[in-house]
Structure 1
């Protein structure tokens, strides 16, 4: 009787392990590819590979889906927590005061246009939200944090990641010659790159054309942008939960439900790192683990993608991404010009 009672539990565990193993294998390969081609990065490799293999995955959806959902849920949330090990709150706060208005200005313009232009173009709400936070904050990391908050579908996540990557790559190619043409010094270009490019490796690649000083300042600004994930995700969770009737929910439980555990843990890890309680070796390991978990989660997203539905979405989200990228670029340059004039 005891053996029989445990069989369903073992079966559920095996089913979850099957999908999780598929996502983990693909994510690990993508993470390795990302280290070899950092401008593209593991998340993009993971999504693309997952989408290419999605027809096979859909044939075995019953076996793979529970594990893929685990990767898109818990593994994705853990990746956000581990990202906190990269943050030093002291370094972020020590950034020049001029970076805050530029950073907030680009973020505000991006999110506002994502809502207005996205509605005008007929882009679905979740997809325009993901493209907006990905462009305005920090690319794949912001999308990873936002996905569980708004319960976004795999198709929307895939399209958003692909759109962000395309214009992130364009920024790496366009920004260095643009900075030289505008005769920007290292500090100014570091601020420009840190506020208008999403992925850290791409920030470093672009800022490197203006020297080490530009790279160091750009990375600090980029880290400050990462902190914007917290208020944005909290607002999105509040808006999402408003659709549910909470009249019978205790206030303490309601308040707790609006503050996701992974954001609290993210801040706790960042605080530990700021206090020097995370050794350098552990910090590097946690950062690598975060990148790996993001790749695993996004591999699961790719494997869960409905490719025909993705095609039916059309080019309008891509146009939205282009508009937001151009807006962030021009806003960053414009605010710098106004603040230094």
Structure 2
């Protein structure tokens, strides 16, 4: 009996030497995670709350919320952050600018762009003919997405539709209030924020739906994608178990957020992403998802291909190789 016990103890010691417990679990890994204020962070709130409550202890997770992508990208490329939620096109730009040292783990937010007005004149893309659209995001995804949808519907910017670019979403809302015939391109949750201040603002078109209509006949169908979860590739290669654990918790969090709007909205407010009341109204319209594997690759590669056609600079000059997509 002593000999059996000694062998068992020796096995535990040997496993410990490899950083494993007798159950085959890896030792906890430090995982630094950063997300942007808005939809890309909303799907993560249950995961964050479980960590803070001590309910998730498999790894040492540290979360932070940034106000802009300019805070996230340098931290990720320098290895100060392991995993981050970023705009989809920014992930491609980082991949191209770091010789492939960024890998996308999952799609976490589909399109959040909406055409809004205070009247009732727009019910299809065709109705935008002769209109002026107030928008922000020139040189970024909002511009390329709007251009794609207008052009594929036979509308020429500058001729059929005028686009007046503003520096901030709030300027678009102000322009909308001052022009009874005005139309604005706004993202969630800003749409909901604007509606709380001006109940006359209505959502006329969901650009994600309009994008999907245009993709129906395409051989490789993509969809409008706002945000993705990315990771430092070196971290992924060195910590495969930690990455899988993170994705499992994240998927559970996304499902919780989508199925428990009121409770999730409180968490969104607690983490100062947007006020809880705004989150309660906005969450169902934020298109928060968890899409991984081959479906992620199909949808994201299709989306990036459209941006590539619009402006190669939007994705860093060229489409990413297959190693950009985790698990592919």
TM range (shorter): under 0.3
| TM-score for the superposition, normalised by structure 1 | 0.25
**Structure whose CA Rg is larger:** 2
Q: Which has the higher contact order (CA 8 A, sep 6+)?
A: 1
Normalised by the size of structure 2, how large is the TM-score?
0.26
